[in-house]
Amino acid sequence: MLTYSMLSGLEDGRGLSLFLDDYVKEFLGAVRNCHVATILPNECRGNHLHREKREIIVVLPSTEWTLHWDEGENTEIRSQEFSGVSPIVVEICPGASHAITNRGKQALCIIALGDRFFDPERPDVEVRIVTKS
């Protein structure tokens, strides 16, 4: 299963501040892995699933992008386009393949939080393409 929603935050003259406490507590339980990445224009990250890990991806507002996903092996591939105006939080259950494509003209920044520690000996990642050519 994969769900997404607009993430509310506080914005003032200094910029945007986001709070993820409820998402972490309710969906992950605890954060055991965190990484930050950028996606350059016309590039894609993802096209994989996690066998065991639950993941939250926060996409910071900046540019147009598309979320691609499925609900498991042999299920329909779906996609949703976003304008890049609002922060979006994506909750990803084990087995759901996912990818993000940057359709804009500037870098897109994502923050990924997981409920499992990263183990390079057992990476918990399996390739399954969900982007349509």
pLDDT, tens digit, for every residue of 58-102?
A: 999 999 999 999 999 999 999 999 999 999 999 999 999 999 999
Judge whether residue 54 has pLDDT over 80: yes
Is the pTM higher than 0.85? The answer reads yes
Give the model's pLDDT for residue 133.
56
Cβ–Cβ < 8 Å for 61, 6: no
Domain boundaries, the chain: 2-9+18-127
Confidence band of 111 (pLDDT split at 50, 70, 90): very high
**Superfamily of chain region 2-9+18-127:** Jelly Rolls (2.60.120.10)
Between 132 and 101, whose confidence is greater?
101
Residue pair 114/55 in contact by the 8 Å Cβ criterion: yes
Distance CA 105, CA 98 (A): 22
Asked if residues 36 and 109 have their Cβ atoms less than 8 Å apart, the reply is yes
